[in-house]
Structure 1
Amino acid sequence: MDLFQAIILGIIEGLTEFLPVSSTGHLIIGSALLGLDPNDPFVQLFNVSIQLGTILSVVVLYFRRFFRSMNFYYKLAIAVIPAVVLGILFNKQIDKFLGSVAIVAVMLVVGGIFLLFIEKIFKTPVHDDSDNISYKSAFKIGIWQCLAMVPGVSRSAASIIGGLQQKLTKKAAAEFSFFLAVPTMFGATSKKLYDYFTDSSLQLTPHDWQMLGVGNVVGFIVAIVAIKSFITFVSKNGFRAFGVYRIIVGMVILALLLSGQSLQMM
């Protein structure tokens, strides 16, 4: 991986992590387009570990919310339990999917269709503040988030849909999705780093560390802009545009795959 590739993937991560378009799916596609092997251990490590930068962007932007009350932490802890349990049980199976561009394309289309109608399905929000949800609702949102273990589903989309299903407004559902990303992504990144470093056949070179640093810094900066823009856009326009985008991208990728063309353009 070179500097240009690290910067581009950092931009992709920062732009897509908190949007309902699947950051993992875009990173897999982006890696392939940049001539990287999505199944390469370091590429997979890079695509997961640069989430640390985007995690930090949430903490910086919502710093005061993280010190409002202990109930906030209890609800996040409860919401992350389903992902922790399933992540431990199916870690190897999940890793097998991480390099599949075909699965990403299909799930982009399926999720996009769902986003087209999501606001008609869940149209009676009650809570405008995610702090007002119950522990039971937090756990249910955590279950929804587990759908994102399939590449292309989108952790953000799954948890936002879960929030809407639990009567949160669009803004509150998006914000709770941001908060839930912190423990979820930190756990996933820590697990990936642990697996990598306990594999005696894999070692990070100084160059690899530099690329990880670049990816995280770029992801952090871009994510701050993306989060602010996303909240404003969703509050006014909803999720339909993201559904259309997902369908278009997914269909284009599927068309390329079905025509026998390789995504490794470089």
Structure 2
Amino acid sequence: MDTLLLIKAAIMGIVEGLTEFLPISSTGHLILASSLLDFSAPPFTPEKAKAFDIAIQTGAIFAVILVYWQKIRDTVVQLPSSGQARRFAMNVIIGFLPAVVLGLLFGKAIKANLFTPQVVATTFILGAFVILWAEKRQNTARIHSVDDMTPWDALKVGLVQCFAMIPGTSRSGATIIGGMLLGLDRKAATDFSFFLAIPTLIGAGVYSLYKARDVLTMAELPVFLVGLVFAFISAWLCVRWLLKFISSNSFVPFAWYRIVFGVIVLATWWTGLVVWAD
């Protein structure tokens, strides 16, 4: 196996882990990193690189499972006897379903028509203004724990997550900021975003590998494993940092970062430095 390709896979894994759970769009960052690293060049291919980008999300989600292991374990153990545990599990399922349905219905059309530098840059910048607006609002949150959410709350957050199908939006950004606008406090919105990511990203990773089964071989296994491991490590560090950060800070810095990154997307597209076409 090409050592340089493994190094590139490690860098891609780090980018995935550091950006997946921040409201800054991991997809946009992976496209930029992939282009700058020439990650889809032989011996890899664009089809394998696309499968890799989605598959390594599974490594990042393992970090969330580790950080929230006690809550996940307690919920599973208490399912037969606790109404609260059953409600929480059902809320995660309810929040997950809209992305499944709309993804299957419109996923191909979105990839074919919306994956342009103009759309990516626009959603980066528009998302930044939504974050600034959400943080400026003085409305008192009515939900301070994921255990206080109703199925209706979960469904609304799940519907908001569907906006992340538009490139550059950010799944975590949509669910966290959307949750805050829907009445969750910053901590509850972040927690539910992470829990919602578990079935969403695992499902996307498995589905991506299934679709790419004809182009992948055992020869690519080391590349995928390296990406998964580094995505896991960087995501674990990032999630732990973010949970501490939001205890005393807002998401405003991420909004300004999104504006800067949106300009970078336009600049790299305009100069031809990055190939943003799908």
**Given the two structures, how large is their TM-score scaled by the length of structure 1?**
0.91
8 Å CA contact 1:117–1:240 kept in 2: the answer is: no
Would you say how many aligned residue pairs link Structure 1 and Structure 2? 259
Query: Cα deviations across residues 179-226 of structure 1 (Å, max 9, x unaligned)?
Result: 0000111111122122112xxxx3323331111100111011111110
Aligned to 2:220: 208
Runs of 4+ in 1 over 3 A off after TM superposition: 36-39, 97-102
Partner Cα distance (2:178, 2:125) in 1: 19
8 Å CA contact 1:170–1:234 kept in 2: the answer is: yes
Partner Cα distance (2:112, 2:212) in 1: 15
8 Å CA contact 1:122–1:167 kept in 2: the answer is: no
Aligned to 1:21: 24
Aligned pairs for 1:95-244 (under 5 A) are 95-96=111-112, 100-121=116-137, 123-197=139-213, 202-244=214-256
Counterpart check, 1:246 vs 2:249 = no
Partner Cα distance (1:98, 1:2) in 2: 29
Partner Cα distance (1:218, 1:101) in 2: 27
8 Å CA contact 2:40–2:48 kept in 1: the answer is: no
Partner Cα distance (1:35, 1:96) in 2: 22
Q: Which range moved further: 2-11 or 99-108?
A: 99-108
Give the drift of 1:37.
4.5
Summarize the Cα distance change of 1:28–1:118 in structure 2 as closer, same or farther, 3 Å threshold.
same
8 Å CA contact 2:107–2:165 kept in 1: the answer is: no
8 Å CA contact 1:144–1:161 kept in 2: the answer is: no
Partner Cα distance (1:29, 1:101) in 2: 11
Q: Which range moved further: 133-142 or 159-168?
A: 159-168
Partner Cα distance (2:241, 2:112) in 1: 34
Counterpart check, 1:41 vs 2:19 = no
Aligned to 1:3: 6
Aligned to 2:82: none
2:146 partner amino acid? S
Aligned residue for 1:263, secondary structure, equals: coil
Summarize the Cα distance change of 1:19–1:97 in structure 2 as closer, same or farther, 3 Å threshold.
farther
Q: Which range moved further: 87-96 or 136-145?
A: 87-96
